[in-house]
Amino acid sequence: MSNQEITEIQPNIIIGESYDGWIKLSAWKGFESRNGFYGSKDSEIESDGTIKAHIIGESVDYVHLLSQSQFNAIKFLKENSEQVRDSLLNGLLADYPNAKEIYEDLIPEINTTVDYKNNLGVAFLHVMDSEKNNHAYIGFELGCSWDDEHGVGVMMHKDRVVKIGLAEESFNHWNCYEDNGTSEYEQMKWEKAQELRHKHQKKWWEFWK
């Protein structure tokens, strides 16, 4: 399967552990083009709404698929891109006092969501393999004018903001686990995997036997 617009991928199709494609969202047309390294600005020309997308394949019976929940989330985003964008920007505006305290004079004066248009753009979408109510979580990794290195990350479920922070929050699985109530189960799973890993790991002297 060659890279394509992710809206064209049907549910339960094998995509591997991860799949890189793209999506065009009209709501983000006119924002900064952030397709450079680490979400850097790659052009003075405004974005046409085309965004790189990364899907984490859901593991089912030893293969990785695009799940029905992921398909539902992508479809919701495509059909409600303006609603999702406005919710995201309102979340950033509500968080602005916190960002101002951290970045001080590095962050421009932001009074309305419109002010973000010339100061950021979406670099990546991360379609997660965790879901809630039959819709997967989607992380927005944004490049911004006030932090070229770390950018901004917003984890969302449909049109609801789950977490705002640095870019890494847009692909942090624990944001999903904490929101959908599976964090305790996932922690136990992680600890069990670590135990098995250490159990089968050879001591340094055993490599010489």
CA angle at 199 for the pair 198 and 205, rounded to the nearest 5° = 80
Q: What is the pLDDT of residue 41?
A: 85
Q: What is the pLDDT of residue 201?
A: 65
Total number of domains constituting the chain: 1
| Structural domain includes residue 203 | yes
Sequence-ordered list of residues with C-beta below 8 angstroms from that of 77, at least 6 positions apart, any chain: 23, 25, 84, 125, 138
Return d(Cα 147, Cα 207) in angstroms, integer.
46
Q: What is the pLDDT of residue 90?
A: 98
Q: What is the pLDDT of residue 205?
A: 54
How far apart, in Å, are the Cα atoms of 52 and each of 82, 134, 137?
18, 23, 16
How far apart, in Å, are the Cα atoms of 38 and each of 9, 135, 172, 174?
26, 27, 16, 22
Pairing of strands 160-165, 120-132: unpaired
Q: What is the pLDDT of residue 1?
A: 43
Polymer length in residues for the chain: 209
| Structural domain includes residue 47 | yes
Structural domain boundaries enclosing 51: 6-208
| Structural domain includes residue 1 | no
Return d(Cα 179, Cα 170) in angstroms, integer.
14
Kindly list the averaged pLDDT for each block of 10 residues, start to end, along the chain of length 209: 84 95 97 87 91 95 95 98 98 98 96 97 97 98 95 98 98 97 89 74 57
Q: What is the pLDDT of residue 195?
A: 78
DSSP character for 45? S
Return d(Cα 173, Cα 131) in angstroms, integer.
11
DSSP 46-111: PP-SEEEEEEEPEEETTEEE--HHHHHHHHHHHHTHHHHHHHHHHHHHHHHHHHHHHHGGGSPP--
